[in-house]
Amino acid sequence: MGVYEKFKYPGVNLKVAMEMGLKEDEYKNACDILGREPNYIELGVITAMWSEHCSYKSSKKHLKKFPTEAEWVVQGPGENAGIIEVDGDICACFKVESHNHPSYIEPYQGAATGVGGILRDVFTMGARPVCAMNSLRFGPLNNDESVHLLEGVVSGIAGYGNCFGVPTVGGEIYFHETYQKNPLVNAFALGLVDRDKIFYAKAEGKGNPIIYVGAKTGKDGIHGATMASEEFSEESESKRPNVQIGDPFKEKLLLEACLELMQTDYIVGIQDMGAAGLSSSSFEMASKSDTGVELDLEKVPVRETGMTPYEIMLSESQERMLLIAKKGYESKVKEIFDKWDLDAEVIGKVTDDGFVRLNWNGEEVANLPAKSLADDAPVYDRKYAEPENQSQIKNFDLSSVDDPGGYPAILARMLSNPNIASKKWVYRQYDHMVQTNTVFLPGSDSALLRVKGSNKGIAVSSDCNGRYCFVDPYEGGKAAVLESALNVAVSGARPKAVSDCLNFGNPEKEGVMWQFVRSTDGMSEACKILNTPVVSGNVSFYNETESKAILPTPTVVMVGVLDDINKRIPSFFNKRGSNIIVAGNFNPKIDASEYLYKIHNKLEGSVGEVDLKLGLRLIDFLAEAAEKGLILSAHDVSDGGLCVCLAEMCFHKGIGASIDISRDIRTDELLFGESMPLVLLEVDDLHLKGVENLLENNNILFEKLGKTNGDLLTIRHNGHLVIDEKVEAAAEVYNESLGELMQ
């Protein structure tokens, strides 16, 4: 018997399949498709391709409800990234994706390779990456584990992005005990591409060569996709070999080589080797093109001796691409990659029989139908039901907590709260100015980038309030989309499209699946009303450790376009003596608020109905006000409520504010309660009447609260002075607290 005879079918039983992660019915389904038992290599490929991470088998049914089209959408879901028009032929290509489980096991490399993977998703479509962002979740910073994870993840993001040469321009971080042993690391990247230079993942043209390019294949990341499709347990730390190892310098070379190649007419299609590595890239390219491929695995460049076909197919080594070249241009392709000191080897050819055939030294060791594995994975209609305690969570009684008074001390506690405090300790580690496109620095409501060769700008914001999604997933899903849209809109930009990263617990549990369904229902409704289609994204299930699920966290990254970069609106007070106006739904409640969670240690209450039509009118108002130059600054009111939002606007230039509000409401609700949609506006006397008229024309309620002046933040409620703080002192608390905790 030859050394690879064991790979031939039959010979793999159900027990091995289940150990690899397949369910019994899935294994039987695979046997029915093949008409036989799969061999060991085939089973490994099937397990990876049918993992939750790759196949979306629990979410596919529900993702269909998202709107995905608009006149500015060039490419919706289904490719490596989504693409929208920015200015004529100039397009933005973007996506957000999770790297949660690897970042818990090995924080630095888990986060670094998350950044590397999302950058490849963008430049494999022909786009040069111009920015990166991240959305992070950790347990409270009162223990060494959380500090270690935050340090490692931030270092990994910085280490990869800074070396690669892409600015990390913003993001969000939130801390809650449910993320203690299951942090979330969601990485986003955006690139620019000309419409006629977009490339797709396709394997067309019988006989065309398949070329492997980039770094060599190692044993890192094997079965990474299946690891991301199961709950964590005490044994999870033993899975360190499943975490990939990144090399940002190699990725930079790969970027330049790919973009140079894309200026030629040598190639037909190109695909990143991401989750499931060579397996997913080869099967997906063949399936999309209704073709087949034949691979000679002994020709794959490897960095370790003795690697088997199984390991080569399932490795998730980084910085690798699979491309289909035009026949006869193999040497031309190789010349380009040789120049950039990268491997480029012909490892197979395109066929027309619909199968992926794997050879090893002339012997066929696997033979699988491409479309069945790539497109026909099991699709589950999971049962879902509202948890029994959900009504109790929503039924919050305001009288159950006292108004504590001592509001200056509470403001200090809120400003030092890591969920609100400045994230300067984090973003000072990122290079956010490389490429010189960054207009708004991290810490603003949204990132803002100039588009060279155009007057337009691109605004980006990442948001999700897990508290809201926990107490009411439907309204929480709406709120995630609307907050991200408002953060873009307060810069003056028009929100255009969404990339999402849907982080939830175990979908096999009815309560978790209910959270997912209701959250995505809310998101879909919001995207339809705001006219912001979903063009790309990712689902991350099984974010549970020892059966404790995370807060439902459907991260929304909103991308908007500002028609004239010179008409941008900053997030912070610009000058003294201007008017402060609050506009929108100014009906603050402490239900499900950061104040209730931080000060009273409660996570409960009703979010109330999120008024999306009012949100759309606010967005329209902000876009028109920016165009007419009516607003000095604007800030979305969110976590921490009015008082925190005012303080944040004061800090940037040390400009104080004097506020006077008469309203029959508890003072703690007025100061720290939350409601949406709501924005604060700074308007000078010259434009005050114009702003008021525009708000009235858009049917938006507003209230003049006071003036910017001096160096104090003072707030009076019904004639009583409740806040009287030096801006400089409050800013020090806000700016230094996170760094002090990390020490």
Task: Determine if residue 56 is left, alpha or beta; phi over 0 gives left, psi from -120 to 50 gives alpha, anything else beta.
Answer: left
**Is residue 97 a known part of a binding site?**
yes
Task: Determine if residue 570 is left, alpha or beta; phi over 0 gives left, psi from -120 to 50 gives alpha, anything else beta.
Answer: beta
d(CA 543, CA 104): 11
**Is residue 357 a known part of a binding site?**
no
Distance set, CA 358 to CA 225, 273, 296, 302, 369 (Å): 21, 17, 6, 16, 12
Report whether 154 contacts 147 (CB < 8 A).
Answer: no
Angle between helices 24-34 and 40-49 (to 10 degrees): 120
Report whether 320 contacts 215 (CB < 8 A).
Answer: yes
Burial 251-285 (b: 16+ CB within 10 A, else e): bbbbbbbbbebbeeebbbbbbbbbbbbbbbbbbbb
pLDDT in tens, 498-515: 999 999 999 999 999 999
CA angle in degrees (0–180, nearest 5) for 358-359-365: 75
pLDDT in tens, 81-140: 999 999 999 999 999 999 999 999 999 999 999 999 999 999 999 999 999 999 999 999
Residue 241, pLDDT > 80, answer no
**Is residue 658 a known part of a binding site?**
no
What residues are paired with 682 via a beta bridge? 580, 633
* Mean predicted confidence (pLDDT) in 69-80: 96
Q: Half-sphere exposure (CA, 13 Å, Cβ side) for 685?
A: 4
pLDDT for the residue 375: 84
Q: What does the CA dihedral 562, 170, 419, 496 come to, rounded to 10 degrees? A: 30
Comparing 113-127, 228-242, 338-352, 491-505, the range with the smallest average pLDDT is 228-242
Q: Which residues contact 446 (CB under 8 A, 6 or more apart)?
A: 170, 440, 459, 460, 461, 487, 488, 490, 491, 493, 558, 560
**Is residue 263 a known part of a binding site?**
no
Q: Residue 603 — very low, low, confident or very high, per pLDDT cuts 50/70/90?
A: very high
pLDDT for the residue 229: 47
pLDDT in tens, 276-308: 889 999 999 999 999 999 999 999 999 999 999
Q: Hey, what amino acid is at 68?
A: T
**Is residue 99 a known part of a binding site?**
yes
pLDDT for the residue 233: 56
Backbone angles phi, psi at 561, to 5 degrees: -125, 130
**Is residue 101 a known part of a binding site?**
yes
- Give the tokens for residue 598: 């931080």
**Is residue 95 a known part of a binding site?**
yes
Report whether 629 contacts 497 (CB < 8 A).
Answer: no
Q: What is the pTM of this model?
A: 0.95
**Is residue 743 a known part of a binding site?**
no
**Is residue 540 a known part of a binding site?**
yes
Comparing 388-397, 464-473, 680-689, the range with the smallest average pLDDT is 388-397
Residue 722, pLDDT > 90, answer yes
d(CA 440, CA 584): 24
Which strands, in side-by-side order, build the sheet including 128-138?
73-75, 82-87, 90-98, 184-194, 128-138, 168-175
- Give the tokens for residue 527: 């995207």
What residues are paired with 75 via a beta bridge? 83
pLDDT for the residue 2: 44
Which of 235, 354, 237, 233 has its CA nearest to residue 290? 354
Report the catalytic residues.
Answer: 53, 99
**Is residue 316 a known part of a binding site?**
yes
d(CA 386, CA 674): 25
Residue 223, pLDDT > 80, answer no
CA angle in degrees (0–180, nearest 5) for 706-712-714: 45
**Is residue 508 a known part of a binding site?**
no
Comparing 31-40, 170-179, 610-619, the range with the smallest average pLDDT is 31-40
d(CA 104, CA 96): 19
Residue 25, pLDDT > 80, answer yes
pLDDT in tens, 387-423: 999 999 998 998 999 999 999 999 999 999 999 999 9
DSSP reduced 3-state for 205 = coil
Backbone angles phi, psi at 210, to 5 degrees: -100, 125
- Give the domains, in start order, of the chain with CATH numbers: 569-743 (3.90.650.10)
**Is residue 500 a known part of a binding site?**
yes
pLDDT in tens, 543-556: 998 889 999 999 99
* Mean predicted confidence (pLDDT) in 605-632: 97
d(CA 639, CA 661): 20
Residue 238, pLDDT > 60, answer no
Report whether 451 contacts 530 (CB < 8 A).
Answer: no
| Type and span of the H or E element at 173 | strand 168-175
Q: Are strands 494-503 and 553-562 parallel, antiparallel or unpaired?
A: antiparallel
**Is residue 446 a known part of a binding site?**
no
